[in-house]
Amino acid sequence: MTASAIPGESIDLQIADLLSEVHFPTNKDALVDAAREAGASNEVLAMLDGMPEQDYVDIDSVTRLISGNYGPGLGA
């Protein structure tokens, strides 16, 4: 994944691309750091930063939380 591709993508695609590059299990801080390094938008950074401080075992555990908090479609 190239960092330059991330900012131009929709929020859904930014999250999907980011999560596909993260090694699970992981925690919230690692997700936020990975998003920042990838050049994710402020909206994506805010979504990830607003997640509970816990360990996430897989992509689904993150996308369920994001879509539950921010509406249908996000993170799908």
- Structural domain count, the chain: 1
Per-residue pLDDT of 54-66, as tens digits, reads 999 999 999 988 8
Q: Number of C-alpha atoms within 13 angstroms, CB side, residue 23?
A: 0
Q: What pLDDT, on a 0 to 100 scale, did the predictor assign at position 36?
A: 95
- 8 in any annotated domain: no
Q: Is the pLDDT of residue 68 over 90?
A: no
- In a domain? residue 15: no
Question: Which structural domain range is residue 61 located in?
Answer: 26-71
- Amino acid 5: pLDDT: 53
User: Does residue 52 have a cis bond before it (omega within 30 degrees)?
Assistant: no
Confidence of residue 70 (pLDDT cuts 50, 70, 90): low
Q: 62, exposed or middle or buried, with CB in 10 Å at 0-12, 13-18, 19+?
A: buried
In a domain, 76, yes or no: no
pLDDT in tens, 19-54: 999 999 999 999 999 999 999 999 999 999 999 999
